[in-house]
Each structure stands twice: as C-alpha cells, then as structure tokens.
Amino acid sequence: MRFRYTHALLRSIVATVGLGIFAAAWQRPDAVALMVPFVAHVAWALLNRPGADRMHAEASPRAVVIPEGDSFPLAVHTTRPWRRALVTVQWPLRAGLAFDPDTGTVLSDGAGTNVNVEPERWGRYTVGPATVSVRDLSGSWQASAETDPVTITVRPASSTLEGGSGVARPIGIVGAHRSRHRGDGSDLADVREFRPGDRLRRINWRVTSRLGPLHVNSTLTERDTDVLIVADTLLDIVPANPDATTSLDATVRAIAAISRHYVGFGDRVALHDLGRRIGRVRAGSGPRQARVVLNVLSRANRDVAEWQTLRRVPRLTPGTLVFFCSPLLDREAADELVRLRRLGAEVVGVDTLPEGVGEFADIASFGRDSFLGEAWMIRRLERDDVLARLRTLGIPVTPWRGTGSLASVLLEMEAARSAPRRVMGR
C-alpha cells in the first residue's frame, strides 16, 4: 500500500497556516513564535517524504510443522523507504494458540518483529493475516498492509508404549516376534538328532559328546505381523472443562503411541477410520510409515459433523492384531469391534472416553436446572454393561491414560503364546 500523510502532519499544516494568517492580520509576533515547532515538523515531514514508494509486508515461515509442545517465532519483514521506522504488527488471537506477547502485538523500530507462538495441542491451525503498520519517526507518513496467513501443523506427541508386543500369533515371514514354527531363529525349541540337511553350525557338541550320536539345536523362527489401528471418530466427547482432553485427543495420542511402538518391531501398521475425521492409512513399515501416520493425525479435522455413516473395515487377515480406539458409546462401533473378533483378529479395545465423564462428580457441572448429568450417568451404566459383555467374549478393554495403559494387557497376551494348549483329538 502507498504511504499517506497522518493526522499529525495535517494538524501541523493547519496550525502553521492558521497561526501565519493570525500573525500577519493582527501583527502578533508571539504567534510567529508559536509557529516554529509546527514549521519544524512540516519541514521534517517534507524531508522524509516517501514519494510513490509502496510498502510490502511478508510473514515467515509461510508453513511450519512442529511436534506437540514446541513453540516457534513468527517474523514479519517490511519494505520501507527509511532505515529506521516505527513498525506495529498485530496478529489476530485464536483459541488453542498462546502468543508471546499475550496480545499478539509487537512494536519495533525496524530491528525485528517476532512473535512466539505455542500451540496448546496437536492439529492444524491457520494464523493471520497479520496487520502491519509502518510510520516514520516524525509520525507524518504511514502505510498499512496485511501479510499472507501462516499454516501451522502440530504433530501429536508420540511416545513408545510400555510393555511387550502382545503378539501371540505372528503371521508374517521375517520379524522380531517369536512364533511356534520351527526354523532359523534365535529361540531354542529342543535338541534332536542330526538329520540330513541340518546345518553344521546347529550341532550341539555338549549333548553329542554325552550321548554319542550327533544332535542339533532346533529353534523357533521370528516373524512379523499385521497391526491394524481402528479409530472411532463418529463422536468427539468434550468434557465440561474446555481445556480437558477430549475423546478425539485421546484417540490421536493412542494411535501415535501404538503406531510408533509396532513400527519399532518392524511390523506392518495400518490405520482405518470409522468416521471422517482422520482418514485411512495403508499398511506399511519402517520409520517412513511412522511419519506418515503422524502427518495424517496432525491433519485430523475437529469440525466434521458427528453421527456420520460408519465405514466398516473392508478386509482383514486372520491373526491381525487390532487396536480398536473408541469411547464405545455408539452401538454400531461396538458391533464392529465384535465383528473383527469373529473374523479371527486379536482385538484389544482402547477406551478413549475422557476420565470423569458420566460419573457422579460430573453432575454438578451441568447445573441444577439441567438433567444432562443424570442422562450421562444412565448412559454410563449402559456403557459399563457393554464393556462387561465384551470381556465375556474374550476382548480386553482398557482405558487410555497414557503410554502405560496397555502394558498389563500386552504382557498377558504375550504370555499366552507360551501357555499350554489343548490338542484336539486326544
């Protein structure tokens, strides 16, 4: 935008002309003395006149990706005809973003205009445009412009789960999970007599020297498995406290931790969304897959309308380890959980309902004239009955309260593969 004169310069010109006419008409030398500061201001303004120069403001960076809990500076660069000028930058405040300074306004003499921004939680934010105003040191010329908006993508915090892998029946070929199939591996299965085709490095010389015939070590193979994370985003349960963790927050953080945990084992991890907030991620492995999952989670949409049509899991390989992240308030979601179990998957239910919702202490937050507290208690009792039925079907359900939430369940599932099994027909 072009530079224009300010009201201060206009007042100085009017005061100079008025006092000059008054001094000439009434022959008042004291009026001439009063004109001196106004004449000096007008002269200073004419010397600093920018001419036809325009001001251009640009914010950097235009887009940034940061992990949850970090902050970054937003800088604004301006073009101006003076080496030093008074620059004012005003960033519009937005819920979920903390600014330093708190008002989002920065005053500078041209040395730099930076504002630190710290997102409160994961997600994608659009900040701006910022309003930039530049004025010369005499306060006579000014111009205003707006910057382009800045896109902030905050990846959810991804911490590795505590506990074992929980894989009882790996279905892959090569991996880190011990299977029941014998072959090349590191876990000893038994010691048997030598057969044609056995490798010489497998010979157990201690047993051979004691028994006479050649004996070799028989080992169990290590395999990988398929891990499917199912996200129930049909509902986003928001507690009475707006700053508390919602069910979507718990779901996103659980997915980030689970995917990072099993990518570290070399497993193939996939993501399926029953709703339309997160989306779907194809099966993959390696560090790249972990980054893909985090990028998809950071773009999750909180503004999608609730109660959308449930999208079922299209296909499933028997033996797949499934983590079902859901508040378990929708009947169709619970039915989908049971369907995956009947398809032969090893299913673990991850309860993402915020802590305290529907409990007795939560009634007071709705007020005396509202029956929402009582309605939530009844809904909580119905949900407890659903959880009890799921456990009778052999589906463990544990609430998500951090990276140690699934430790006991995973250790029990991992111990189940070494438990004795009944052989049919005997």
* pLDDT at residue number 364: 55
CATH fold for domain 57-155: Immunoglobulin-like (2.60.40)
Region 374-403 average pLDDT: 82
Higher pLDDT: 154 or 421? It is 154
Higher pLDDT: 200 or 272? It is 272
**CB neighbour class for 288 (10 Å; exposed up to 12, middle 13-18, buried from 19):** exposed
Q: Name the residue ranges covered by the structural domains of the chain.
A: 4-47, 57-155, 177-223, 226-416
The conformation of residue 201, written as its DSSP 8-state character, comes to G
Region 77-102 average pLDDT: 82
Same fold flag, 57-155 and 226-416 = no
* Architecture of the domain defined by 226-416: 3-Layer(aba) Sandwich (3.40)
Residue that the structure tokens 């007042």 belong to? 11
Angle at the Cα of 266 (from 262 to 269), degrees rounded to 5? 50
Region 106-131 average pLDDT: 81
* pLDDT at residue number 182: 47
Q: What SS3 class is residue 174?
A: coil
* Token duo for residue 4: 């224009």
* pLDDT at residue number 112: 65
Which tens digits make up the pLDDT trace of 7-57? 888 888 888 888 888 888 888 888 888 888 888 888 888 888 876 667 777
pLDDT at 188 over 80: no
Q: Comparing C-alpha atoms, which of 350, 340, 94, 363 is closest to residue 240? A: 363
* Token duo for residue 159: 């911490």
**CB neighbour class for 169 (10 Å; exposed up to 12, middle 13-18, buried from 19):** middle
Distance CA(113)–CA(141), nearest Å, equals: 20
Residue 141 amino acid letter: W
Higher pLDDT: 368 or 228? It is 228
Region 269-292 average pLDDT: 87
Spatial CB neighbours of 330, under 8 Å, sequence gap ≥ 6: 232, 234, 235, 310
Can you name the residues that pair with 358 across neighbouring β-strands? Answer: none
C-beta of residue 209 within 8 angstroms of C-beta of residue 160: no
pLDDT at 125 over 70: yes
**Sign (positive or negative) of CA dihedral 376, 258, 299, 123:** positive
**pTM of this prediction?**
0.71
DSSP-assigned states of every residue in 250-305: HHHHHHHHHHHHHHTTT-EEEEEESSSSS--EEEE-SHHHHHHHHHHHHT--TTSP
pLDDT at 62 over 70: yes
Through-space distance between the first and last CA atoms of the chain, rounded to whole angstroms: 90
Percent of the chain whose pLDDT exceeds 70: 77
Which tens digits make up the pLDDT trace of 322-370? 899 988 888 888 888 889 888 888 888 888 888 766 565 555 555 555 5
pLDDT band at 181 (very low <50, low <70, confident <90, very high): very low
pLDDT at 159 over 80: no
Distances (CA, A) of 391 to 64, 181, 300, 338, 386: 44, 30, 31, 11, 9
Q: Taking the mean position of all CA atoms in its chain, how far away is CA 53?
A: 44
Higher pLDDT: 394 or 420? It is 394
pLDDT at 167 over 60: no
* pLDDT at residue number 301: 82
* pLDDT at residue number 111: 57
C-beta of residue 322 within 8 angstroms of C-beta of residue 396: no
* pLDDT at residue number 271: 92
* pLDDT at residue number 227: 86
Spatial CB neighbours of 240, under 8 Å, sequence gap ≥ 6: 362, 365, 366
